[in-house]
Amino acid sequence: MAKKKDVINEFIDQKVQSEYLEKIMGDRFGAYSKYIIQDRAIPDVRDGLKPVQRRILYAMQSVGMVAGSPYKKSARIVGEVIGKFHPHGDQSVYEALVRMSQDFKINVPLIDMQGNNGSIDGDGAAAMRYTEARLSKAAMYLLKDMEKKTVPFVPNYDDSEVEPVILPAKFPNLLVNGSDGIASGYATNIPPHNLAEAIDLTIARIKNPNLTYEEALEIMPGPDFPTGGIIEDTEDLHQALRTGRGRVVIRAKAEIIKNNIVITEIPYGVNKAVLVKKIDSVKDSKGVDGITEIRDESDKEGLRIVIETKEQANPEVILNYLYKATDLQVNFSYNTVAIVDRSPRTLGVLDIIDAYILHEKEVIINRSNFEVDKMTKRLHIVEGFHKMTSIINEVVDTIKNSKNKANAKENIMRLFGFTELQAEAIVMLQLYRLTNTDIKEMEDEKRELEKNIKHLKHVLSSEEALKNVIIDEMSEIKEMIPSPRRTVIEESLEKREINEEELIIHEDVRVIITKDGYVKKMSLKAYQASLGVSTPGLKEDDYIIFDKQCNTMDSLILCITLFIKDNVVIFFKTRS
Amino acid sequence: MANDNYGASSIQILEGLEAVRKRPGMYIGSTDSRGLHQLVWEIVDNAVDEALAGFCKNITVTIKQDNSIKVEDDGRGLPVGPHKSGQDVLNVIFTVLHAGGKFSEDGAYKTAGGLHGVGASVVNALSEWVEVKSYKNGNVYHQRFENGGKKFPKEIENLGPTRKHGTEVWFKPDHTIFSTTLYNYQTIKERLKESAYLIKNLTLTLIDERTKTEDVFCYENGISEYAEYLCGSYNKILEKTIYFEQELQKINVEFSIQYLSNGYGENIHSFVNNVRTRDAGSHEVGFKTALTKVFNEFAYKLGVLKEKDSPFEGPDVREGLCAVLSLKVPESILEFEGQTKDKLGTPLAKPVVEQVVTDKLKIYFTENQAVIQDLLQRALQARNAREAARKARDTARLIKSKTKLEQNLSGKLSPASTKDARINELFLVEGDSAGGSAKQGRDRRFQAILPLRGKVLNTEKASVEDVLKNEELNTIIYTIGASFGNNFDIKKCNYNKVIIMTDADVDGSHIQILLLTFFFRYMTELIKAGKVYIALPPLYKITQQGVKNPKVLYVYSDEEKEEVTKDMKKYAIQRYKGLGEMNASQLWETTMDPKNRTLIQVKIEDIADAEQSVSVLMGDDVEPRKQWIDNNVSFAEIDDFKVEGNE
């Protein structure tokens, strides 16, 4: 047991701090929730990206997997992202990559993926060793001008790289592509909106910062889902756009062709395979009568689900039932939460637009400053060249008589008054630049630079000019990425409700009413069978006061002593 | 039909009296207070039978000063005259066992509580004396029996003419038979009240001459009022007590139903021929079956229960029920189970009651939908409560059966080589990758390693079943070996320290609090005993540079880093984000070696605060958590995540 004693002795002077559970829970949870909210599940209001998405886009750009370049294996991208910026699981990164490429999930895919990138049937993407990817054209607009000191950079997790905290985002990506995520205490669910509408709304708001929600709704009347469908224009929707909380009803687009219901668009977020299965189970459970077959006829032409119905059945009625009983109609619940100044906020559409405009102004100002700097430097050099051309022979002589490069620079600076920068450029100048045409070009460049600098300075000093730059650039994107609206907004879906009367089958029935107020409807067959038998179910001391053959479409007007009229329609569904 | 001619010929002689005195228990159950009162019931029941037959309106019971009892009624009066046995019929009634008018339907009574024809004679047999007066046929007849009915004049005395009719029986129980001869006013009062409820408009008067107390009972609405009385002072649900009466197959069924708004359980009083059937019987079975059947029928019809739902069970629909069921069963089919008439045996009573109650309730509920809707909602609540209770019971059972958890550890645990619970340590390690280095780096003599895959189940949101189904937690429970919940026994704990070792990042923090939640909910004692620790891996490795023998230092906090690097000219810093980044030897040196490591011992300062923070931070409800985050998390502050615990 000596050994054990040793072990115990080893324990004596160990460092043990104690902490209370209450504090540990609070500290740890606080750190965790803060991280999850800020850095994992909730997108930034300005570029609409979660950190993992931003890192993917940035990593791809920095290794040249840009629009138009050849596709590269997804595994390389994932490795790049994990290794440089995002030390987490590879699957979660790949999933994020795939989602950004799915045209049924987001309006403007940011990733152009080659290979199976999943489907609306819920099929997963092929493994990342199979698929290849590059940035899409739209993604390039999110990343544009990043090299021009437009956005701040921070060191990565091991201080070996830097990464942007935000992308320049030349279009309001949060609205356009939407987002969803669950953090801790906070969650977000933002639908996609139409790119052109979002840009128009941004421009309208830039032009008129007092734009009202009514006016905003005229420009962007609601979400626009990549899967199309029909949404209802309700007060709920307006409220959702105004406050960030609310819901909108999305309905599949269906057509009735002869006796068939043909569905060509399904609600956003609905898994088609599951939907078809559900409709099939409705057929089998006889929730509604009359469906004979359901076929998923989707192919390269697009989505197409055909529901065949019996000849006698009313497909309108069946469709109406299916809207209620299946995901042919769903509710989308807005929970517009995004990170603003590092904190989660629930935002209305205009709040998002305003945050975006603020960001864009900052980006343009940063870029203009960067360019003015660069151009001023160039102008200075060009001015040096210009001055030199007039005294070219003296300059050449001076250089010829100098000991070395450094001495040459010194000499021309001393003798002709060039600055260090200009002197350096002059001594490095290639001789062909002294030809006539080149000298003329230099003069043109000088004029051009002067003009541009003047313009940029104007942009930097005039709010109006700044706004115009944003408007021009956004208008260009609107043209470059055509985005017709796919989701139809209808005044009211309730108008399509089927009157209950339409559900009634026309037939003759026997109606019996008793003194105590019992009404019984029997089929003629059942009535004939009961003839001669004492009326079953008749209460003690009750007796029949009415016994006639009627049609189910007849209206029965019953007069009782207390009320004058009570219009009773005998429904098909009435059980006897 | 009841025969008006209740005369001498109605009485048949069956047996003598001596047996009663020898074995009183056989006839009245016992010779204690209960048996003593049974004598009163026997006489009163005879009077009530007379009322039931429709001949009697008033019954008066008087407790005399000497604890003798006088029972008067205004019925037809006991018959007097020669009986075919040769004796006077009144004497026969009081001295011969099984002499009665209730043996056949065409006798004097159609239905009656008195059955065996022993009532009067048994009372006589067990009394010091009995005085009987019969007001009949315009005369008053009197007879006095003494000494247990052994001594009485042959001739009935005629006291003269009268206009009254009825019977008066005055008896004094024999103190040599009964252990007590003191009558209880309250007991008799309750019983008389019961009888008053059962027969509408019958007036029952109880007088206690000992205390000069008097009570009069008479109820117009019979058992409806009885059901309401059963509700006591609680709020009644039904505006109008349900009451129906119907005769079917010669059985007359009367029932009344009321519900308590906040009552638990059920209160059904059932009677057969005005005798309380305390042990229920076939009629109550029929009543309950009908009630459940009708409730379920309406529940499905009105959509309170969906097609897939299982039907209500009896206790659901009887929650808060106060019901009175009263049957009049003809003698020919009347059967009781057992000696005292406490349990009805008549088989026909079940289907008859079931049908009557079903028919009547169906019509009533059809015409009063609001009533049934209300009752169904209550049944639903009762059912939910019952299911919750059952679940709790099942859970308790599950816990019991799980105390000996299956030994499938899926080979994940690397146990320590010794089994000394005083020193052994269990490391719960985040992720298999770190688990590997922990296994290689440990001191196998006393350190056991259990790697956990990914995030642990949040036990605050999970049910006990889910926790037990969870492989990770199940393994922890078994490995620690001290069971969990109420069965947790700290003495059986296999380890002196349970050390949570996670990465120094936010996900590591999350795993720590998930595990602490589990220990707090399922092994609170383990925390209280100071056996739960959190390992503190280093944040940085600092390697001195530019010197011959570079020093390598591990630091555990930013402050420490500042302190250490202050005197160094040139050094390299490696930041540890995960345990997996360390080699096995580094992990041992920095985090596991008792000589070097720093541990955080988890304690509970205030159990209520701990409870509060666990339920707010980890519980089901999002809103308080959001509130907590808004109040406690400073989003604006830019900080690098660091491990707390350094003062």
Q: What is the pLDDT of residues B13-35, one digit of tens each?
A: 435 677 778 777 777 778 888 88
Structure ipTM: 0.78
Put simply, the answer to whether B613 touches A26 (Cβ < 8 Å) is yes
pLDDT value of position B499: 95
pLDDT higher than 50, residue A134: yes
Phi, psi of A20 (to 5 degrees): -90, 140
pLDDT value of position B470: 83
Q: How far is CA A98 from CA A53, A93, A111, A164, in A?
A: 10, 9, 8, 22
Cα–Cα distance, A564 to B213 (Å, whole number): 60
Chain A CB contacts of B422 below 8 Å: 8
A491–chain B Cβ distance below 8 A for any pair:
no
Partner residue opposite B636 with nearest CB, options A341, A344, A539: A341
| Average pLDDT in chain A | 87
Do A120 and A272 touch, CB atoms closer than 8 A? yes
Strand partners, B259: B321
Structural tokens at position B368: 């009063």
Structural tokens at position B347: 């088989």
**Interface list for A 18-47 with B (CB within 8 A):** 18-22, 24-38
| Minimum CA–CA partner of B519 in chain A | A21
Give the pLDDT band of residue B411 (cuts 50, 70, 90): low
pLDDT higher than 70, residue B477: yes
Mean pLDDT along residues B247-271: 84
Chain A CB contacts of B603 below 8 Å: 18-21
Structural tokens at position A42: 């909730």
Partner residue opposite A22 with nearest CB, options B423, B609, B641: B609
pLDDT value of position A505: 57
DSSP state of A434: G
Put simply, the answer to whether A185 touches B610 (Cβ < 8 Å) is no
Greater model confidence, B192 or A60: A60
pLDDT tens track for B245-254: 888 888 889 8
Nearest chain B Cα distance for residue A14, angstroms: 5
Partner residue opposite B513 with nearest CB, options A29, A87, A159: A29
Q: Give the residue among A318, A201, A197, A194 at the shortest CA–CA distance from A261.
A: A318
Q: Give the residue among B141, B1, B166, B159 at the shortest CA–CA distance from B73.
A: B166
Does the domain formed by A253-327 have CATH 3.40.50.1360?
no
Partner residue opposite B635 with nearest CB, options A27, A184, A343: A343
pLDDT value of position A485: 95
pLDDT value of position A7: 52
Q: Give the residue among B609, B636, B454 at the shortest CA–CA distance from A24.
A: B609
Helix (H, G, I), strand (E, B) or coil at A88: coil
pLDDT value of position A468: 95
Give the pLDDT band of residue A45 (cuts 50, 70, 90): very high
Give the pLDDT band of residue A285 (cuts 50, 70, 90): confident
For residue B55, which amino acid is it? F
DSSP H helix total and E strand total for chain B: 20, 23
Phi, psi of B276 (to 5 degrees): -65, 125
Strand partners, B166: B135
Greater model confidence, B473 or A525: B473
Put simply, the answer to whether A18 touches B602 (Cβ < 8 Å) is yes
Length of chain B: 647
For residue A66, which amino acid is it? V
Nearest chain A Cα distance for residue B200, angstroms: 24
Do A244 and A336 touch, CB atoms closer than 8 A? yes
| Minimum CA–CA partner of A16 in chain B | B599
Do B517 and B618 touch, CB atoms closer than 8 A? yes
Give the start-to-end residue ranges of the domains of chain A. Answer: 49-168, 253-327, 354-480, 500-569
Torsion of CA A435, A441, A446, A447, to 10 degrees: 140
pLDDT value of position A499: 58
The set of residues, in sequence order, having a beta carbon less than 8 Å from that of A321 and lying 6+ positions away, is: A282, A287, A288
Chain A CB contacts of B577 below 8 Å: 87, 157-158
Partner residue opposite B602 with nearest CB, options A13, A14, A19: A19
Mean pLDDT along residues B375-396: 80
Greater model confidence, B151 or B461: B461
pLDDT value of position B506: 87
pLDDT value of position A119: 92
Top-level CATH class of A49-168?
A: alpha beta
Q: Which of A206-220, A246-260, B458-472 has the lowest mean pLDDT?
A: B458-472
Do A258 and A311 touch, CB atoms closer than 8 A? no
pLDDT tens track for B566-605: 777 778 878 787 788 888 988 998 899 888 888 999 999 8
pLDDT tens track for B94-134: 887 766 555 454 455 555 554 455 678 888 888 889 988 88
Chain B CB contacts of A31 below 8 Å: 506, 509, 641
Mean pLDDT along residues B48-58: 84
* Residues of A labelled as active-site residues: 130
Chain A CB contacts of B644 below 8 Å: 19, 24, 27-28
Mean pLDDT along residues A369-382: 94
Give the pLDDT band of residue A567 (cuts 50, 70, 90): very low
Give the pLDDT band of residue A575 (cuts 50, 70, 90): very low
Tell me which of B245, B337, B342, B507 is the catalytic residue. B507
For residue A123, which amino acid is it? D
pLDDT higher than 60, residue B640: no
**Interface list for A 166-185 with B (CB within 8 A):** 184-185
Put simply, the answer to whether A20 touches B605 (Cβ < 8 Å) is yes
pLDDT value of position B582: 85
Beta strands per DSSP E along A40-119: 72-73, 111-114
Put simply, the answer to whether A32 touches B614 (Cβ < 8 Å) is no
pLDDT tens track for B281-338: 888 999 999 999 999 998 888 888 887 788 888 888 888 888 899 888 887 888 887 6
Do A26 and B440 touch, CB atoms closer than 8 A? no
Q: Side-chain half-sphere of A419: how many Cα atoms within 13 Å?
A: 10
Residue carrying the six token digits 């302190």: B563
Residue carrying the six token digits 């209960």: B34
Beta strands per DSSP E along A9-103: 15-20, 72-73
pLDDT value of position A157: 80
pLDDT value of position B468: 79
Q: What percent of chain B has pLDDT over 90?
A: 16
pLDDT higher than 50, residue A566: no
Put simply, the answer to whether B597 touches A18 (Cβ < 8 Å) is no
Greater model confidence, B294 or A492: B294
pLDDT value of position A436: 76
Residue carrying the six token digits 């004693």: A5
Mean pLDDT along residues A169-195: 95
DSSP state of B94: H
Tell me which of B174, B319, B331, B430 is the catalytic residue. B430
Task: Determine the residue among A28, A34, A158 to mutate to test chain B binding: the one whose Cβ has the most chain B Cβ atoms within 10 Å.
Answer: A28
Give the pLDDT band of residue A351 (cuts 50, 70, 90): very high
3-class DSSP string for A170-220: CCCHHHHHCEEEECCCCEEEECCCCHHHHHHHHHHHHHCCCCCHHHHHHHC
Nearest chain B Cα distance for residue A418, angstroms: 43
pLDDT value of position B117: 53
pLDDT tens track for A231-264: 988 899 999 999 999 999 999 999 999 889 999 9
Greater model confidence, A116 or B77: A116
Chain B CB contacts of A516 below 8 Å: 367
Length of chain A: 576
Nearest chain B Cα distance for residue A13, angstroms: 7
Do B587 and B570 touch, CB atoms closer than 8 A? no
Give the pLDDT band of residue B514 (cuts 50, 70, 90): very high
In this structure, how many other beta carbons lie within 10 angstroms of the beta carbon of residue A34?
24
pLDDT higher than 60, residue A563: no
pLDDT value of position B224: 86
Cα–Cα distance, B370 to B368 (Å, whole number): 6
| Minimum CA–CA partner of A37 in chain B | B635
Positive or negative CA dihedral for B639, B641, B642, B645?
A: positive
pLDDT value of position B124: 86
Q: Give the residue among B191, B330, B328 at the shortest CA–CA distance from B254.
A: B328
Do A348 and A216 touch, CB atoms closer than 8 A? no
A563–chain B Cβ distance below 8 A for any pair:
no
pLDDT value of position B13: 40
Structural tokens at position B319: 């929650």
Give the pLDDT band of residue B221 (cuts 50, 70, 90): confident
Q: Domains, chain B, ranges and CATH? A: 8-217 (3.30.565.10), 223-389 (3.30.230.10), 425-538+599-632 (3.40.50.670)
A506–chain B Cβ distance below 8 A for any pair:
no
| Average pLDDT in chain B | 82
Put simply, the answer to whether B445 touches A21 (Cβ < 8 Å) is no
pLDDT value of position A284: 78
Helix (H, G, I), strand (E, B) or coil at B433: helix
| Minimum CA–CA partner of B613 in chain A | A22
A7–chain B Cβ distance below 8 A for any pair:
yes
Nearest chain A Cα distance for residue B155, angstroms: 55
Mean pLDDT along residues A265-291: 86
The three-point CA angle B282-B279-B355 to 5° equals: 25
Q: Which of A95-104, B76-85, B371-380, B401-410 has the lowest mean pLDDT?
A: B401-410
Mean pLDDT along residues A508-531: 75
Domain covering A354-480 in this structure, CATH number: 1.10.268.10
Q: How many residue contacts between A and B have a Cβ separation below 8 Å?
A: 143
Chain A CB contacts of B620 below 8 Å: none
Positive or negative CA dihedral for B122, B125, B128, B133?
A: positive
Chain B CB contacts of A159 below 8 Å: 575
Do A275 and A266 touch, CB atoms closer than 8 A? yes
Mean pLDDT along residues B212-216: 89
B555: left (phi over 0), alpha (psi -120 to 50) or beta: beta
A1–chain B Cβ distance below 8 A for any pair:
no
